[in-house]
Amino acid sequence: MEDSLQLNLEILAEQGIALIRCRGQLKFGKESQLLKKCVDSVLSQFSICVLSLTAIHQIDARGLGTLVACMEKSRSLGCLLLIGGASDKVRDLLRITRLNTVFEIYSSEFEAMQACGQAA
């Protein structure tokens, strides 16, 4: 079915840090809306959030815009939002669009969580 949701999110919490694992596609429509709502909800409860994008295999301009909106929201709340791992496709797009200069990007969830632990 064409209308089915192409993004799955798993939310975990450890030592006051939220981890959102994203799987599938981050694109215009329901997927972008879902991620934004999820991040907004998590940031209302946690001051540190790690987004894992290692299992994102497709992302479009709206998906990139959603990531930027999530970053802006986290900054406005005084929260920290990190990217803990990204697929090669996502990492390339972040580099090409120079968004890699906007986000703190770590090579893995583990590395991002360690950095958060040191910052906390």
CATH code, domain carrying 19: 3.30.750.24
Kindly report, residue by residue over 17-50, the tens digit of the pLDDT: 999 999 999 999 999 999 999 999 999 999 999 9
**CA distance linking residue 86 with residue 48, whole number of Å:** 18
Q: What is the structure's pLDDT at 120? A: 53
- Tell me the chain's radius of gyration from C-alpha atoms: 13
Q: What is the structure's pLDDT at 23? A: 97
Task: Look at the chain and report how many structural domains it folds into.
Answer: 1
Question: Checking phi first, is residue 22 left (phi over 0); if not, alpha (psi -120 to 50) or beta?
Answer: beta
Mean pLDDT of all residues belonging to the chain = 93
Residue 67 lies in a domain: yes
The list of the chain residues with pLDDT below 50 reads 1
Q: How far is CA 118 from CA 11, 18, 35, 86, in A?
A: 21, 15, 26, 21
Residue 44 lies in a domain: yes
Q: What is the structure's pLDDT at 116? A: 83
| Domain around 91 | 7-108
Residue 39 lies in a domain: yes
Residue 116 lies in a domain: no
What would the two tokens of residue 90 be? 């996502």
Residue 118 lies in a domain: no
Q: What is the structure's pLDDT at 95? A: 96
Residue 1 lies in a domain: no
